[in-house]
Amino acid sequence: MKNRFLLSQLFIWITLLSLHAQPARRPVEVIVTADRDDWTYKPGDKVQFIVSVLRNGNPVKNAQIRYEIGLEKLEPTIKETKTAADGTLKIDGGTLKTPGFLRCIAWATVDGAEFRGLATAGFDPLKIQPTVYNPQDFDTFWDNAKKELAAVPMDAKMTLLPDRCTEKTNVYHLSLQNNRPGVRVYGILSVPKKEGKYPALLRVPGAGVRAYYGDVTTADKDIITLEIGIHGIPVIMDPNVYLDMGQGVLNGYPAYNLDDKDKFYYKRVYLGCVRANDFLVSLPQFDGKNLAVTGGSQGGALSIITAGLDPRVKWLGAFYPALSDVTGYLHGRAGGWPHYFDKNGVKTNNTKEKLNTVGYYDVVNFARRVKQPGLYMWGFNDETCPPTSMYAAYNVTTAPKELKLYLDTGHWTYSDERDLMNNWLVEKLKGK
């Protein structure tokens, strides 16, 4: 039994690390860069991409390089193959006439194996505007939803997890009633043991179905933390249960009931984040004012959404937010994850009913309403959450905001980024 528990914990930690982990290096690297340090241009400026093929840090002579250039996530406008005599190739990438991103993806075959790299040039990204519509009754819809939530008793249930507790922190499996009787939100709550009043941090999850371990490290710094799941299932089950559900009943959950704004899967999810805050501010250990929310990808979206819905949130930290400007594909550019309207989904999802629903759930329309200071982080090379979609949300945010760019990152983070975000949140929450 003990070995099974240890294996479960190992699975959880591997999953958590993989959500943000930097990709492992390979013996051969295809490094693509743009010819300006900040990879940023004005519309009409021409970009040059530089592709280098390295083995053990040295150029690969006469490397065959195949490359494609075009808007992110769309069909490339340039497809060519050339030989790089000295291992480096300079490519004229062209330009854009309007704000957006131009991406160069390059492949090289060395010793029978193919290696890949990319770089993405931004053209006036701070002027990108959203395509998704902003429903006139957006605020009424969500005000009514929150009233319905408030009418449902929270019915909090806490179960101590002794094996996860530390010298300074008690750790609990938490269950809360969500927006309907019998519908639950589950998470891992970590509370400082020492008597006192503490700030609180809500961690919201990236996409997928998994167990959670909680944020004990931050709790040990005298901050209450709550890490929640979104699927209404306990978050301490055997890892195989989540694998089975992710491949089975919850496979494709981001599109469940997309044709009905009242039944759409994410309605319960968004309200579950507010319910998690209901619980945090109700704790006798809460200091009464300092509450933050953070997450990456789907969690980056939920961070912005939670702040937009809940004025009790004082700060938000978001890594590469998903669910942003999802209708971009219908306007000739990339849309946000989960790519409802890309070439694979447009035939199914481009209906009046589904287009109506996304307006009530797109991050852009919550970003318009955010009042809290926020720290945002992403890279130009993100292929899951295209930068065009993320800037569409960021650019309509009028609250105090700071964007830290790590240009070469895709849908992952450097450890320095995570440290910077965690330190920022701790400093804000503790008033340092």
Active-site residue numbers? Answer: 297, 382, 411
47-55/58-59 β-pairing: antiparallel
Half-sphere exposure of 265 (CA within 13 A, CB side): 14
Rounded to whole angstroms, how far apart are CA atoms 404 and 317?
Answer: 11
Residue type, 405: L
Place of tokens 């101590």: 160
Are the beta carbons of 235 and 211 closer than 8 angstroms? yes
Q: Which of 287, 265, 282, 260 is nearest to 150 (CA)?
A: 282
CB distance 201 to 224 below 8 Å: yes
- The beta strand positions in 56-149, using DSSP E, are 58-59, 63-71, 78-84, 88-94, 100-110, 113-123
Residues in the chain: 432
Q: Cα(96)–Cα(42) distance, rounded to whole angstroms?
A: 8
DSSP 357: H
- Evaluate the omega torsion of the peptide bond into residue 43 and state whether it is cis, within 30 degrees of 0: no
CA distance 28 to 45: 32
Q: Are the beta carbons of 179 and 268 closer than 8 angstroms?
A: yes
* Separation between Cα atoms, residue 213 and residue 432, nearest integer Å: 27
